[in-house]
Structure 1
Amino acid sequence: MSTEQDGGATLLIVEDDPAFGRTLRRSFERRGYRVSSAASAQEADEQAKETDFDYAVIDLKLGNDSGLAVVQSLHALRPDTLIVVLTGYASIATAVEAIKLGAAHYLAKPSNTDDIEAAFSSAQGNPEVPVDGRKSSIKTLEWEYIHQTLVECDFNISEAARRLGLHRRTLARKLEKRQL
């Protein structure tokens, strides 16, 4: 891992939204990070082969690519990199998959630089987190089932709609309504 002596921690931001990616980059650079950016899974793979990153922030949905594939390949290539998945499509299914594939943390958008840095420092988990008996609502269960199906279909909306027995436009409307 890098230290402050050699110019700060290294960070890879994998985000396909140019404005949000630029904002994140500037914010982390002001905090002393050496930041590299990628807008696709292919760019992220190329950068990870060249640089040993201390941290990575990966968007879950990268255009037609899945951020989960980026998590898996980055973790395989650089197992010491602390990876945070950032998403506007949060669900239990994608959170579990992200952690299983090597992410240290999973954050729903909107998240800021403070949230991401806190996730970097809390990568070990906390067994003291209260476990409450809160029941999930029908809407939450539906949302999680939809996202589990999307993960199984590699975020292919048409295939997910077919498996769910929904019209493609109906599924797209449901996804637009519940973006986090």
Structure 2
Amino acid sequence: MTDFLIVDDDPTLLDVLARALTRRGYSVVTAQEATQAMELFETHIPQHVCLDLKLEHGSTLDLIETMKQMHPSCKIVMLTAYASIATAVDAVKKGAIQYLCKPVDIEQILGAFAEEAGPADIKETPTNPRRLEWEHIQQVLHKNQGNISVTARELGMHRRTLQRKLQKRPVKE
């Protein structure tokens, strides 16, 4: 049995996280794609999984359910550079215990596994309207399974305008 499985398409991040966890005495295996991750998951049966939301060949949300069905005691933390409320809710519904936005350090990851999903801190300041727009676009896009044309029609904007908005990073909260 392995302590950690780290799944990310960024080889540098994989290396940094694996070395940091190994220095702390954990056994670690890494994968850069979903099929490799599932093979390692089946053979090593990790207690903890750090799973990047977007790999080269798509979303990894479905892997959460599969992993939890195979080994219900496994704890999964979702990592992403493209955070949205829609994907956070989906990840937690499917079985992830936390959802962390990159960049993250090893202490944040270990803290996420230690505290599990607890009540979110409620902010006193209102969310930036551009951030709300970005999150709404992400929800509609997710609902339409990534179809840009259908999403643009539903949002009442030109497809190219939507594509430009999607290329931008989300506004900081």
1:20-39 equivalences in 2 (<5 Å): 20-39=13-32
SS at match of 1:58: strand
User: Any unmatched runs of 5+ in structure 2?
Assistant: none
**Stretches of structure 1 lacking an aligned partner (at least 5 in a row):** 3-8
Question: Does structure 1 conserve the Cα–Cα contact (< 8 Å) formed by 2:77 and 2:112?
Answer: yes
Structure 2 residue 58 is the aligned partner of structure 1 residue 65: yes
* Matching residue's letter, 1:26: R
Q: What TM-score does the superposition give when structure 2 sets the normalisation length? A: 0.85
Among the aligned pairs, what percent are the same residue?
39
Q: Is the 8 A contact 1:59 1:85 kept in 2?
A: yes
Change (3 A) 1:52 1:146: same
Residues in 2 aligned to 1:108 and 1:48: alpha-carbon distance in whole angstroms: 23
Q: In the alignment, which residue of structure 2 is the partner of 1:162?
A: 150
Q: Displacement, 1:175? A: 3.1
- Is residue 152–residue 159 contact of structure 2 (8 Å, CA) maintained in 1? no
Aligned pairs, number = 168
> 1:143 Cα deviation (Å)?
1.0
Decide whether the 8 Å contact of 1:12 with 1:53 is kept in 2: yes
- On the 8 A contact 2:98/2:117 being kept in 1, the answer is no
CA RMSD of aligned residues (A): 2.2
1:87-126 Cα shifts (integer Å, max 9, x gaps): 0011111110000000000000111101000000011514
Q: Deviations over 1:46-99 (max 9, x none)?
A: 111112211010000011221211212111111111111000011111110000
Displaced runs of 4+ in structure 1, greater than 4 A? 166-169
Kept in 2, the 8 Å contact 1:41–1:65? The answer is: no
Cα deviation for residue 172 of structure 1 reads: 4.1
- 1:40-59 aligned at under 5 Å gives the runs 40-59=33-52
Q: Report what 2:164 is aligned to.
A: 173
Query: Which runs of structure 2 are paired with 1:135-146 in the superposition (5 Å)?
Result: 135-146=126-137
TM-score by length of 1: 0.82
Whole-Å Cα distance in 2 between the matches of residues 171 and 48 of structure 1?
A: 37
Question: Within 2, Cα distance between the matches of 1:125 and 1:33?
Answer: 25
